[in-house]
Amino acid sequence: MNYSLQDLVKPLTAEEIREAIYTLIAANGIVTTNWQPWSPTKVLIHVVSVVLAAFSVLVSSIAAGGFLGLASRPWAVLIARYRYGITDIRTKSLATTNIQLTNNGVGVYSAASGEWTFKNPATGALYVNTEPFAFGIGESVTFSASSVEAGSIATSEVGAINVIDSPAVSGVVCTNTTSAVGLEDASVGEIVALCLARRDARSINGPRGAYLWAAQTATRGDGSPIGVTRVRTYAPGDGTVPCYVATATGAVQGFADQPGTDLGRVALNIQEFAETQSVESRTYSGEPIPLAVVYELWMWADDAAVRTFPGGTIEEKVKRKVLQDLGSFCAAAPIGGFNADDSNRVYDDAIATAIAKAVPGVYRVKLTEPSGPFILGPGQFPILGAVAGTVNVVSRKGLV
Amino acid sequence: MTPFHSVVPYLGPGWIRRRQLFTVTWAIFVIVDVLVDMTVQAIRRTFPGAVGCLPDGILQLADEMGLRKGPSEEIEAFATRLSLAHDAIARKGNTLELLRQIRAYFQAWGVFPIDFVDPFGRRTRLEVDNTIIKDSIAPDALSLSLGLITRCRVYMYSGTRVPVSENDVYQLLDDWVAGHVRLAGSVVHAGSRVWNEPELLWNLEGETWNVDAPIVVEVNT
């Protein structure tokens, strides 16, 4: 008997195995329905079913492990590492942002890196300054900050980090001027894309995948990854390859002709590993465009899964999860947007779908902003802008 | 299927071979055999072209290699192509490899000459017998006047219209051209016109062409 690949990668449960054993026994004319609940035979079948179910998990792991696209993430990481030689698969990342403090009080403040902590009161996520700063009466200062905790839990829209957690100061107004997006581990899909680009990079003839690979694997002088996740190449036909690059959260800093900068390192990597003779690659940072979202959603009140989310009222939990997922959505949107019936778009229905998928039980999403497709220019990409939402929790009571 | 279910129940002492316990043991080992069989099938599927590698495994592997199966390409032929894909991918962006991939993709409709022409009129032709001919034809004056020096075109000469979508052909070429060649591919009909000024043709699936009518795809700008 031949099994489909889908059957092979799905483990059998103990119940399925037990059912199959009983069916086989019954097919041999033995009545099993009159066996006592704790009869030795029943117990034996029960125990064997559990053991074989564990074996089935192993079988499905072996089956899926042979295929990059079907493997679970740990297997995919191993395949990427040992078949494709990719060692730096993205793991959960800290969210970075710019914090602006305005001194309306009478104090004069200065801080070393990591001394001040800020908070998004809606999510509870904490952020610390990663640059020293000083400011006096009536002055404002802007500096970079990073989340304490990694992952999408640290995602905050513009203006949401508005509490100084420590030290206790008065008369100082705090806000974040850019969105903070924390990323989860690279998904299996992202790992597959990286592996395909890696494979293309074997060619010396400059296929598009080679440019992707070269940009995504560029590192700084100290070996730390620059973190390019988005690459878009164009071919104007004049012998050049304009190559726009960006990280999940924003632009790549620096200048292409200065190898000491991040963008310069990316350009250098492209020239070394992708560019062919008589072709001129031109590396640019993509231009981040904040994507503001205003939505209203309706969902069933009795969906138990939402209640398991941590902290706050159900509306707060839903808004928090939607914010995290919109952050991930923007982080994964390509430079130049998506092409469907039109090009260079982030489609509003895709945004609505991302919101609807964020939590179970959502049955309607209405987007006020963007009110249509979000249009990007070549080289532009979306980053998370201000997000405002209204959550309507509807009881099923009286409905059948 | 492995034979445990037909062997193991007989290995025990006499009392275990009584009808009920024998059947229970037999049923358990049928499941064991199924699981072992699934393991074997799973491993076989990771080797395209090997005995027991079924189409779903081949297609999954191809997807991971970025290789497209021709719409009417035999699965065995595709498995062979897949097993050679590592070398082919190492030649991505190369003109001859592009022509070979096009040939493999359309092979089910017959073997026909395929041309790759750059804007200077330099032509590389993959002949029916796989010989390569390099010659020159009239330059693409429009491309050159616009400064489009990587505006390349691909032409296939088939006696039969091939029923594939424009998008499929575009994706195939997009996979195999170099990064500096931009695609604005169209399914085109040159008919009796000057072949390098093709006329768009839509919805003509199944039509028969005159022999040597240049068709199908333009890779340009």
List pLDDT tens digits, range B136-192: 887 877 778 888 888 777 777 655 556 666 667 777 888 888 888 866 444 444 333
Instruction: Decide if B31 and A21 are in contact by the 8 Å CB cutoff.
Output: yes
For an interface test with B, the pick among A3, A84, A196, A232 (most B C-beta atoms closer than 10 Å) comes out as A3
Instruction: Decide if A200 and B92 are in contact by the 8 Å CB cutoff.
Output: yes
Higher pLDDT, A137 or A37: A137
Residue B35 with chain A: CB contacts under 8 Å? 12, 52, 55-56, 59
Interface of A with B in 155-194 (CB under 8 A): 192
Predicted confidence at residue B4, as pLDDT, reads 73
- Total residue count of chain B as it appears in this document: 221
Is B123 strand, coil or helix? strand
Interface of A with B in 272-301 (CB under 8 A): 274, 276, 279
Instruction: Decide if B23 and A28 are in contact by the 8 Å CB cutoff.
Output: yes
**Which residue is it, tokens 């620096």?**
A254
Average pLDDT over residues B17-45: 86
Higher pLDDT, A241 or A304: A241
Q: What is the pLDDT of residues A336-391, one digit of tens each?
A: 998 777 778 899 999 999 999 988 888 899 999 898 899 998 899 999 888 999 99
Q: What is the pLDDT of residues A207-223, one digit of tens each?
A: 989 999 999 989 988 88
CB B90 within 8 A of CB A203: yes
Average pLDDT over residues A164-182: 89
Using the predicted structure, report yes or no on whether residue B197 has a pLDDT greater than 50: no
Is B205 strand, coil or helix? coil
Nearest in space to B71 (alpha carbons), one of B101, B108, B111: B108
Burial of A294 (0-12, 13-18, 19+ CB in 10 A): middle
Please compute, for residue B50, the number of CA atoms within 13 A of its CA located in the half-sphere on the CB side: 12
Average pLDDT over residues A226-255: 90
Predicted confidence at residue A263, as pLDDT, reads 96
Percent of chain B with pLDDT over 90: 10
Using the predicted structure, report yes or no on whether residue B5 has a pLDDT greater than 80: no
Instruction: Decide if B66 and A69 are in contact by the 8 Å CB cutoff.
Output: no
Rounded Cα distance, A395 and A77, in Å: 43
Predicted confidence at residue B121, as pLDDT, reads 82
Rounded Cα distance, B163 and B203, in Å: 10
Contacts 24+ apart (CB under 8 A), A41-46: A41/B20, A41/B21, A41/B24, A44/B24, A45/A18, A45/A21, A45/B24, A45/B28, A46/A14, A46/A18
Nearest in space to A190 (alpha carbons), one of A151, A153, A231: A231
Predicted confidence at residue A28, as pLDDT, reads 83
Average pLDDT over residues A151-168: 88
Percent of chain A with pLDDT over 90: 45
Predicted confidence at residue B139, as pLDDT, reads 82
**Most distant CA atoms of chain B, gap in Å:** 94
Burial of B168 (0-12, 13-18, 19+ CB in 10 A): middle
Instruction: Decide if A235 and B179 are in contact by the 8 Å CB cutoff.
Output: yes
Preceding amide of A167 cis, omega within 30: yes
CB A147 within 8 A of CB A154: yes
Predicted confidence at residue B212, as pLDDT, reads 40
Nearest residue of chain B to residue A42 (CA atoms):
B24
Strands ordered across the beta sheet of A280-285: A228-233, A240-247, A280-285
Instruction: Decide if B35 and A21 are in contact by the 8 Å CB cutoff.
Output: no
pTM of the shown model = 0.77
Residue A209 with chain B: CB contacts under 8 Å? 66, 92
CA A129 to chain centre: 23
- Contacts of A300 by beta carbon, 8 Å cutoff, 6+ apart: A361, A363, A393, A394, A395, A396
Rounded Cα distance, A392 and A317, in Å: 13
Using the predicted structure, report yes or no on whether residue A243 has a pLDDT greater than 70: yes
Instruction: Decide if B150 and A56 are in contact by the 8 Å CB cutoff.
Output: no
Predicted confidence at residue A399, as pLDDT, reads 57
Using the predicted structure, report yes or no on whether residue A7 has a pLDDT greater than 50: yes
A48 contact B CB<8A: yes
Average pLDDT over residues A247-255: 90
B135 secondary structure, DSSP code: E
Instruction: Decide if B89 and A203 are in contact by the 8 Å CB cutoff.
Output: yes
Strands ordered across the beta sheet of A287-300: A362-369, A287-300, A380-394
Interface of A with B in 82-111 (CB under 8 A): none
Range of lowest pLDDT (A157-171, A278-292, B117-131, B135-149): B135-149
For an interface test with A, the pick among B53, B92, B175 (most A C-beta atoms closer than 10 Å) comes out as B92
Other CB atoms within 10 Å distance of the CB of residue A260: 10
Of B56, B90, B149, the CB nearest to A4: B56
Q: What is the pLDDT of residues A94-147, one digit of tens each?
A: 888 999 999 998 889 999 999 999 999 888 889 999 999 999 999 999 999 999
Using the predicted structure, report yes or no on whether residue B47 has a pLDDT greater than 90: no
Predicted confidence at residue A304, as pLDDT, reads 58
Nearest residue of chain B to residue A10 (CA atoms):
B38
CB A109 within 8 A of CB A195: no
**Which residue is it, tokens 């020239």?**
A271
The alpha carbon of residue A144 is apart from the nearest alpha carbon of chain B, in Å, by: 36
Q: What is the pLDDT of residues B108-145, one digit of tens each?
A: 777 877 888 888 888 888 998 999 999 888 787 777 88
Nearest in space to A85 (alpha carbons), one of A169, A172, A185, A201: A201
φ and ψ at residue A365, rounded to 5 degrees: -130, 130
The alpha carbon of residue A82 is apart from the nearest alpha carbon of chain B, in Å, by: 15
The alpha carbon of residue A2 is apart from the nearest alpha carbon of chain B, in Å, by: 8
Predicted confidence at residue B214, as pLDDT, reads 41
Per residue, the 3-state secondary structure of chain A, as one string, reads CCCCHHHHCCCCCHHHHHHHHHHHHHHCCCCCCCCCCCCHHHHHHHHHHHHHHHHHHHHHHHHHHCCCCCCCHHHHHHHHHHHCCCCCCCCCCCCEEEEEEEECCCCCEEECCCCCEEECCCCCCEEEECCCEEECCCCEEEEEEEECCCCHHHCECCCCCCEEEECCCCCEEEEECCCECCCCCCCHHHHHHHHHHHHHCCCCCCEHHHHHHHHHCCECCCCCECCEEEEEECCCCCCEEEEEEEECCCECCCCCCCCCCHHHHHHHHHHHHCCCCCCEEEEEECEEEEEEEEEEEEEECCCHHHHCCCCCCHHHHHHHHHHHHHHHHHHHCCCCCECCCCCCEECHHHHHHHHHHHCCCEEEEEEEECCCCEECCCCEEEEEEEEEEEEEEECCCCCC
Using the predicted structure, report yes or no on whether residue B199 has a pLDDT greater than 60: no
A240 contact B CB<8A: yes
